[in-house]
Structure 1
């Protein structure tokens, strides 16, 4: 065989191998046999399977089962945190509380994008209430004036924020993270991040973009042949869909169950957690845990030399009049709040899940939530909404650039199997089981449908409230100098984390195809 023929043979072999690799890369349907991403066979686009990347500021929390509720004697006689076994799906949560500098970034964006007169209420409505620091019998005016704005407090937790404001912050954060991801991938022109002044309703919103209601200027690379996204005819695609795996799920407030599970950090008690694919750790919780930093039943966490023995592991009030100890020996070194990365993180790497500030969670407060809620991903607060369609059957944006939504009606829910009412905030909350008696929420009780759970304890609370199982509430339109928040995000894909499979794979057995 001469060199020319040898070269031709090698070329053909390479081409065949390339075709095989392309076929494996593109794949084909198991139900029709049609090739994916092929303009010759319909052009159905399927992205390569990929893992969810971790959004800015977040920590992955592997889910599991835990005993939700009080884990020690209920000295306060609350009777609203009865222990109950629950399971939490894997999710992401902020490593720290949202700090002043982060919230000021939010206000900066709001003031620039919604600078017109008609948005005055939007700008004012986002401002935190600095007057929460005032007290009739204390001199706190310096905190009123300086706490939120002075750079000395940049990384101290933001307070004076209502539940509604915290909810809106999460929405804003989702859009900014996804917008930047699309800019970095070249699907949105990078100049849009610079020219935000006066965008108003034309500002980027994740859902509006996915539904085609927002059309930002495409980036330079979308027309390139290197663009991995293709239209059915094989030409480069200029817009991204959620199926492409580039955009992240929305940031949101954590549910009470998620927050409590993350605060306990029970993964730190597992003697042999799974570290690599194919191996599982022990299904074991060794002790009932009282505080978020605990690694044993006594709540101690120290080095081999005992260097941390006896030190404060959270920012809280030791007793009446003692918020930080004695000069020359301050115990927690913080009279009010402390920087968000102060004190020792728990086993998930989360800071200040006990102490510093209480934190808003998503749930509507009811005394017996732990008894009433589902076993998996428990949450109370559902009031289902649908995307609004006008008389022409088209979706619309509101004045803030978000997709208009309307509450689902009981009429359209009545035939469903999984729910029959749209507003299920009060569904089976325990009251109607007692001889048909119901609370008059907000009328005859201090609890209303606006009551939201706060967790974690604060700089001005005793140690009891630092236990993740304890719970209190505040109206969603109120704020406090002892309440802040952190954000969470859904986890898609494997509950064990990236690089891990869902379920357990066993060797496949060959079928006996021998003819008889």
Structure 2
């Protein structure tokens, strides 16, 4: 009789499941607040939504919480350039490299190019290598002996951790593209979505780029996803990673000028960490208008350390103190470097970023114009936009070039003329001299400014203290390089501007929640 009751109860329960009641252990689907339809349910449209997640911090980066600050001139304009007029702007949160890109990092890039585009296999690959290699001749000077640096600085292991120099803006830009793809390829390999690549794992046009993978133009060798990493479509079949999965990182890029300047000041009250309390957030710290990138010692010249024991009195940056004095006297070297110094020299600023003053000046993304600061937007001010779109062939298909990159083409003025937010595809010259923004420059005749002039910031090992202030700015053509200019990368922040595990906006708790 007892067994009969158990069997009867089981039959009733199974019947109830057929009538639509939930079965114990069945996956509960999240519903759309807009339609009421289930997400990730093949029986209700199959719309797939990944669980919300914070953006991971990419290799080499630190989080820089954005905010408002006064961009531009801090000290007297001794150069008389009138090109950094103070102006209040807002910078969204972003990520910045902790250090300048070092020789060892750039050699990794050269190694990858040599592996994927070997010159011995195709003589045309020599153009690719030549376009990427730093110009070591930047060390030469007519009245100085610098031949050892020309020969050894980039390749000798003694200089592994020193900033790469002789890199043009264009080369720095290409490095950022390469780095973006290698980071995302590494993530995909580590999670098993694509197979790990050996020394000969990729060849020429079939090399991984994030965009070619997302567009289905890269033929990936499948990997073996581990438990918890498997991705399936609505029908349960394996599928490729998409940007909506939150697995891939945004692109690395050169920081725009306002970002770089904001990050250099390190305007955050870290004592020992930023406070979350309303009254102690230090949001007006920028009012002190410090001159250099370190937040302590703001009431003095700011170039020497005042409180770190044996370091007290030592310089806080690698720069030129005066004529003929690039490092001090033997037994008491004031900045411990005659030329560049290792990328983690000296103390980091409030955001944890090294050498934002001195060592090497750094390329930023912006095209140089003296008065862009007055013309640009209040949020994310930037000059240099040239809008691009996906190139499609006669069959309406996207294509990749000989390096495996997806082909892009410029947005035309005809495509832009009916828009409200921009009317031209190339807006580098926007608000640049006349009503139609068609200004031109007599490059090499009346000015050295052109559409290829790019801003660099921060001062270098061979600059006086004036150039160490983040507000100063200079420019050089994007295809030129120098022994005093290097670079670092940045990345956009997705999600809450306050950082991971933080929500955006004010969220009021219900009465049931503890206060």
TM value normalised by structure 2: 0.90
For residues 166 and 250 of structure 2, the distance between their equivalents in structure 1, rounded to whole angstroms, comes to 27
Q: Secondary structure at the match of 1:268?
A: coil
Indicate if the aligned counterparts of 1:43 and 1:234 stay in contact, CA closer than 8 A.
no
1:64 matches 2:67: yes
- How does 1:290-439 map onto structure 2 within 5 Å? 290-295=291-296, 296-298=298-300, 299=302, 307-429=310-432, 431-432=433-434, 438=439
1:109 matches 2:115: no
- How does 1:20-419 map onto structure 2 within 5 Å? 22-23=27-28, 26-115=29-118, 116-190=122-196, 192-196=197-201, 199-221=203-225, 227-237=229-239, 239-268=240-269, 273-275=274-276, 281-285=281-285, 286-295=287-296, 296-298=298-300, 299=302, 307-419=310-422
Q: Secondary structure at the match of 2:250?
A: coil
For residues 352 and 387 of structure 1, the distance between their equivalents in structure 2, rounded to whole angstroms, comes to 38
CA apart distance, 1:72: 1.9
CA apart distance, 1:441: 5.0
CA RMSD of superposed structures (Å)? 2.9
CA apart distance, 1:279: 9.2
Q: Which runs of 5+ in 2 are unaligned?
A: none
Aligned length: 497
CA apart distance, 1:234: 2.0
Q: Secondary structure at the match of 2:205?
A: helix
For residues 272 and 189 of structure 2, the distance between their equivalents in structure 1, rounded to whole angstroms, comes to 43
Q: Secondary structure at the match of 1:39?
A: coil
CA apart distance, 1:227: 4.7
Q: Secondary structure at the match of 2:43?
A: helix
For residues 243 and 198 of structure 2, the distance between their equivalents in structure 1, rounded to whole angstroms, comes to 21
For residues 193 and 241 of structure 1, the distance between their equivalents in structure 2, rounded to whole angstroms, comes to 24
- How does 1:404-483 map onto structure 2 within 5 Å? 404-429=407-432, 431-432=433-434, 438=439, 440=441, 442=443, 444-483=446-485
For residues 159 and 369 of structure 2, the distance between their equivalents in structure 1, rounded to whole angstroms, comes to 35
After alignment, is 289-298 or 125-134 more displaced?
289-298
CA apart distance, 1:302: 5.1
Residues 336 and 271 of structure 1: CA distance in aligned 2, closer, same or farther (over 3 Å): closer
Indicate if the aligned counterparts of 1:265 and 1:347 stay in contact, CA closer than 8 A.
yes
TM value normalised by structure 1: 0.90
Indicate if the aligned counterparts of 1:267 and 1:348 stay in contact, CA closer than 8 A.
yes
Indicate if the aligned counterparts of 1:439 and 1:445 stay in contact, CA closer than 8 A.
no
After alignment, is 75-84 or 53-62 more displaced?
75-84
Indicate if the aligned counterparts of 1:338 and 1:356 stay in contact, CA closer than 8 A.
yes
Q: Which runs of 5+ in 1 are unaligned?
A: 511-516
After alignment, is 488-497 or 264-273 more displaced?
264-273
Residues 387 and 305 of structure 1: CA distance in aligned 2, closer, same or farther (over 3 Å): closer
CA apart distance, 1:303: 6.8
**C-alpha deviations, 1:200-235, integer Å up to 9, x for none?**
01000000000101021010238x8x5542212122
> Counterpart of 1:514?
none
CA apart distance, 1:193: 4.3
For residues 307 and 13 of structure 2, the distance between their equivalents in structure 1, rounded to whole angstroms, comes to 63
For residues 437 and 452 of structure 2, the distance between their equivalents in structure 1, rounded to whole angstroms, comes to 23
For residues 376 and 170 of structure 2, the distance between their equivalents in structure 1, rounded to whole angstroms, comes to 23
Residues 193 and 368 of structure 1: CA distance in aligned 2, closer, same or farther (over 3 Å): farther
**C-alpha deviations, 1:149-202, integer Å up to 9, x for none?**
100000000000000000000000000000010011110011x244346x1010
After alignment, is 500-509 or 332-341 more displaced?
500-509
CA apart distance, 1:463: 0.3
